[in-house]
Structure 1
Amino acid sequence: MHTSTHANDRLLLAAAHRGDTAEIRAALDAGANVESRDGEHRTPLLLAARADHVAAAEILVDAGADPDARDAQDDTPWLVTGVTGSVDMMRVLLAAGPDLRLTNRFGGTSLIPAAERGHVAYVRAVLRETDIDVDHVNRLGWTALLEAVILGDGGLPHMEIVELLITAGADPLLADHDGTTPLQHARRHGFDRIAGLLEAASARAGSRGRETSR
């Protein structure tokens, strides 16, 4: 019985990696553990999320798979969606009730790598559909806004992300560990259009701060 269950777990992991929905159902029906792990401690749901197999993930979520299960690299199915930028996968996993406060090995939420990588649709969706912390600071001392500027290329996707983050309430005056603000980083990189957005946002934030202190 133990050997059979172990074999079914391996079948489930392989099927999730391939996105084979029929095999996923068959493995689960045969008694495979939905939280089984591969050699890198990845669950079937994490494997499906990494490869953006949305239909596979739906089956696994319906079977009770945990969107917060960590692998050896401290990734979770939910956190991986910020890397892939898959809005469809994000929504499937959102239905499973992920902990939006969990962070990856860099101390970042899913929003931060999405901002860095220029995943405009994902950033827009996660800001609209969740209460994720727009000003979360990772271990490098960077917020999503800082990463969009520092690690972005200054092009249209990153400009849109900066605008989305500002609109969602990101603090443009929140500096990195060295005291450098997003605006200062944008100017150093020569990102003139992004600097313009940040300059206006910083002026508004400064004005609100002065009014509050009166």
Structure 2
Amino acid sequence: MDFKWIPNALTIARCAFAGLVIWGIWNAELSGVAAGAVTPDMPPEDLLRHTVMQQLWYQFALLGFLSGALTDFLDGYLARKLKAQSRFGVWLDPIADKLLVGAALLGLAMVLKTWLIYLPAAAIIGRDVFMTWLRTTPAGKAVVDPSNLAKWKTGFEMAAIIGLMLPLAFAPADMAADASGATPLVFVIGSYMLVGLLWVAAALSLITGWRYIRATRR
């Protein structure tokens, strides 16, 4: 039986998982205070129901992202194992990666609402959109520019995104606060470290993008 279709199917699935990530975060936001679903005079049982639903939607989004990341590993591994490399897979694979990361970054920006997320997210997404276009041009198609920096960039992106999504999925706001209502120092330090990773990923995105542009001019 021919299983060479599986790598491309996994790549297409990653595009679908990107949609599930943004859908999960959108529904989580609709269940919260900002959307008016939660009000101060709401009965405790209704408040608990909305809190649980919001957390479940965040868990859904996190599961979608982790599943998409897993397909990123599996499609490449199986393509080599089954000798099933195809032009379609080579074209779609980087697009699926960028859709998954872009969906997660847009979702985090929607939730966290701070320029500390807006700026690196915009840099990464803007760079990815530009690079996708550049690779369709004759000059871009001719460039082969493997780089360890790109692998580091991907690693920092994944670590930052997963780290920022985990508290949304598993640590409700009332659990992340002490008796006085203040956020413990460990949560604050951890959050800034994860945001720092995202900024490093954004910087590496711009650097690798510039290197690719220079390579097209040689």
Instruction: Normalising by structure 2, report the TM-score.
Output: 0.22
Ranked by relative contact order (alpha carbons within 8 Å, sequence separation 6 or more), the top structure is 2
Structure with the higher helix share, 1 or 2: 2
Instruction: Normalising by structure 1, report the TM-score.
Output: 0.23
